[in-house]
Structure 1
């Protein structure tokens, strides 16, 4: 019914699906949500498609404050998405899995409130994309699934001549910064790390830059930072 309510307000299907995703914090892509709701709506005769999608039943109007809060959330998410797309570039966006790109977005949206989790999201996204590149472009005799973490993965790629030494240094940095976020306690002291939000943001930005650089190195043999 929420999806229908947004359509009734004049939102198109894409924006309505994005609104529902944000509102209910759904761990599903906008495209999947849109297709599912459109299919259900048409099969149950809750939607008719003349020139625009129109609910066939009367839908309760959402409160103004409710819509304003949602619009604020959507604006932030839209800005995060735009930033990630701009920093990674069209080539990387077209190549990477949507789930990995969304992890970068989630990291940007959560780094102030949950800096440790944001670091993990960003480094995992970088590792996933890097592993895709290694598997696709690397030595067929190398089993990159054996690599435990982004540092280990980069070390294998360096051994196979896929990346430069500077990329290996970058991967080791990201791997080291992920540990406090993922595990909390330092093995030497058994004390928890206090992760500052500004540090988390630095790691997120470094992760995005790392992915862009390693993509062009592996795919086009270009050195870009």
Structure 2
């Protein structure tokens, strides 16, 4: 039986450049849809902007790009589950890295805290040139460190996703189940503010669609 899920659950995929965010987000959308969950993917607005303008943005254009990314995620969340291929946090990080501008963090992190799940792609796949917004492999480690620092300082929980191809998807899916399952077990113990002790998911049926439906229904229902 296919459940009717509440709207508004956002799964955010963050990470330094060329770490497989788009590939992972696309795979997650496909799997969620296969499980009968109405899911929308919100792509990276910066890529669209660079392709349209034929250049990278100036410092004064960063805020509008971050705001549009958040607006698109919020609009998509009205009709179902959303997988976001980056959020305004990444724009804020690059604004600090390239322009020494930290002014975008407040709004970006406020929006990030509204995401149900945040996945951070690890630096374990090769860097590949792709479009105007890529700065080079040398920026991946500093960007990764800045993203982790920003999320941690704002108390935004996140799971790091490793591996390639099917292994990376399995890592992300396991993390999603861990977060959903951990929060559900915490509420059952009367600890609604508790967090899962780790990102591992002990359920032997984590690929069981009924199990997955229950976990997502439970997770999203908490945010209605």
What TM-score results when the alignment is normalised by the length of structure 1? 0.29
Q: Which has the higher helix share?
A: 1
Q: Which has the higher strand share?
A: 2
Q: Which has the higher contact order (CA 8 A, sep 6+)?
A: 2
